[in-house]
Amino acid sequence: MSLQIALTDLRSKVGTETHVGEWLTIDQARIDAFADATLDHQWIHVDVERARRESPFGGPVAHGYLTLSLLPHLAGRVNAEKPPYPDLALSVNYGLNRVRFPHPVLAGSRVRARTELVSVEEVAGNGLQTVSKVTIEIDGATKPACVAETVSRMYF
């Protein structure tokens, strides 16, 4: 029954903005921690003085994949304490159809996500699959940091 409630609700939201997240500051400490976790210590991310002198961006920038990795948090998808539908057993990231990084995220910038539901369909195993367009905005920038089409599954 819960699957049908969720399906009806989600179908009514296709083509609309379903979430606008809170702003999150991407500081140098977060960038450094991501570099350590991924072993990507390219100087444009972690060498603050060199990035100020030599980078076309005027300072260190976040890894594109750091921005992408924050998508579940920024899009409001990680609150296990408060599932969006009754009897939802689990939600999983199923994949990405398309990802672009139109604008770098300078250390100290604030970002947030805007999510538009593109489609929803039933899948085997008592589940639903959604496709969403997620745009990660940078406070004060004209271009977004990331635009991704995400594929997620919910199982009841």
Give the homologous superfamily in CATH for domain 2-26+64-155.
Hotdog Thioesterase (3.10.129.10)
Instruction: Let me know: does 137 contact 111? Beta carbons within 8 Å.
Output: yes
Q: What is the mean pLDDT of the chain?
A: 95
pLDDT tens by residue, 35-59: 999 999 999 999 999 999 999 999 9
Q: Does residue 98 have a pLDDT over 80?
A: yes
> Would you state the pLDDT for residue 81?
77
Does the structure show a pLDDT above 90 at 142? yes
For residues 109 and 82, give the distance between their C-alpha atoms in angstroms, rounded to a whole number: 29
pLDDT at 76: 87
Q: C-alpha distances in angstroms, 72 versus 55, 78, 95, 118, 148? A: 29, 6, 12, 17, 12
The confidence score (pLDDT) of residue 99 equals 98
What is the pLDDT, as a whole number, of residue 84? 83
Residue type, 36: D
> Token match 């924050």: residue?
70
To which H or E segment does residue 57 belong? none
